Structure 1
């Protein structure tokens, strides 16, 4: 259905880890199909993992076959504490690849807020496969949640997809945080705040053409297992967004509405991430 981008490793470093006796993490820059360098990190699971007595869904050891590729939210990056925490939890279930979207962190380019970012994820998924993992689960948050949906629809090649706190449709301005975000993205003074205040470089051009929306993407993902996760206290996107996505998914999708949860990786606590990890292990089979 699409031309699969050929990402490649531009440079990498390997750092030993004396605590676990494993190599890693591996830090590298991938090159996307449109030539953007993307900062990426690969973490192997711990060498030994003990199962807590109160966590029956936790595997006795992480899957050697499965790798999680994590797509962060807007203004995040690979070294943000909340993303590292999410990665640490998922390492209990498999290897983990994290990366900074274009315009974020040390990656090149400028953010297109969910459009060209699908190329960044495609490069990371290709790298994860090349590291020897036959099964790939993508996990995205907010903007990253929309990107994992579009990637699965346009490129395929994943074995499970998890979208957390994602919008269902573009240009939504129904909440105060989203109105502030639109100001940040569309106004020159907003982009200056993004660059110097939030360490996020935002492209000044409008989308042309407008990319496939998340809700349009979802029906194309089947039969790949899909999990949609959303908090009932999400200040950015109300519950009609995940419900639209779940309705579009039909029988191949699953919806978790989390009581008391806010927005994205900041609000996804360790217990929720452990449940997501266990779901992915079962779904990617």
Structure 2
């Protein structure tokens, strides 16, 4: 499943293989705190659409979180140096599962997930599909998350209510848009529409309990207005699971909008267990 390119102390790069055979690039950072023993936490970071493990915003997030725990970053399929094509949140759960397994292989008994935007929808669906309580169709064991945080995540699919999201849909659905995605944004997007349509984030949230869940959203997010986090929080409350909502004043969207104070708070929450 994994080919580790370096066995020296410090950041390690690897190529992971997903359950459907896609090769995913990943980076492991042991953290700067005393978190290297087998009982420590590892935070797996799932980037947003058009991001990658080597994008500056993702590296900044990883560096801040490394003050609290070991960190695994990776590039979703179709992004960065990973293979395959982006399915914009559908089969990306397999990429995240491979990264979670790798974190456990690195000796971490507690592995938590943190996703931004598209990555936020992926961590929610992953937590619902890879259950901690019993083996399921996806197979739980080492692929499940012990806590989940979703930042700037959509609640529902096909949202086009803001100009930025209308531009995103143009990139995804139009042949010319996919060329712009490939050559302008460095993202290779699959041409086929979802069939079947995957479980939406708001449908996934009730299935996450009893895993701890944190929903974070900016009140100035230009992509998804605040009804999205409120829908997610309401779904979590209806399921009776341990969930929190942080509505951040003045914050915009995803990795680029997460400042150092917020990242430190996220690190504290994710390592609380």
Partners of 2:10 and 2:197 lie apart in 1 by 39
* Offset at residue 14 of structure 1 (A): 1.6
Number of matched pairs: 256
Please point out which of 6, 13, 18 is paired with 1:14.
Answer: 6
Q: What corresponds to 1:120 in structure 2?
A: 95
TM-score (norm 1): 0.88
Partners of 1:42 and 1:275 lie apart in 2 by 21
Please point out which of 250, 254, 258 is paired with 2:244.
Answer: 254
Q: What corresponds to 1:269 in structure 2?
A: 259
- 1:117-150 Cα shifts (integer Å, max 9, x gaps): 0000000001111111000110000000000000
- 1:184-235 Cα shifts (integer Å, max 9, x gaps): 0000000000000000000000000000000000000000000000000000
* Offset at residue 93 of structure 1 (A): 1.0
Partners of 2:178 and 2:197 lie apart in 1 by 20
Partners of 1:167 and 1:63 lie apart in 2 by 34
Partners of 2:10 and 2:158 lie apart in 1 by 40
Q: What corresponds to 2:71 in structure 1?
A: 96
* Offset at residue 24 of structure 1 (A): 2.3
Q: What corresponds to 2:105 in structure 1?
A: 130
* Offset at residue 12 of structure 1 (A): 2.2
Q: What corresponds to 2:134 in structure 1?
A: none
Contact 1:73 1:143 survives alignment (8 Å): yes
Partners of 2:263 and 2:236 lie apart in 1 by 22
Partners of 2:87 and 2:253 lie apart in 1 by 20
Q: Structure 2 stretches of 5 or more lacking a match?
A: 132-143
TM-score (norm 2): 0.92
Contact 2:30 2:36 survives alignment (8 Å): no
Please point out which of 185, 188, 194 is paired with 2:175.
Answer: 188
Matched, 1:280 2:270: yes
- Classify the secondary structure of the residue corresponding to 1:229: strand
Listed as ranges, the matches of 1:202-241 within 5 Å are 202-241=189-228
- 1:236-257 Cα shifts (integer Å, max 9, x gaps): 0000000000000114210000
Q: What corresponds to 2:27 in structure 1?
A: 41
**Relative to 1, partners in 2 of residues 1:63 and 1:24: Cα closer, same or farther, differing over 3 Å?**
closer
Contact 1:233 1:262 survives alignment (8 Å): yes
Contact 1:215 1:244 survives alignment (8 Å): yes
* Offset at residue 62 of structure 1 (A): 4.3
Q: What corresponds to 2:137 in structure 1?
A: none
* Offset at residue 159 of structure 1 (A): 1.1
Contact 2:48 2:254 survives alignment (8 Å): yes
Partners of 2:185 and 2:94 lie apart in 1 by 23
Partners of 2:248 and 2:216 lie apart in 1 by 7
Q: What corresponds to 1:20 in structure 2?
A: none
Q: Structure 1 stretches of 5 or more lacking a match?
A: 1-7, 17-22, 50-60
* Offset at residue 63 of structure 1 (A): 7.0
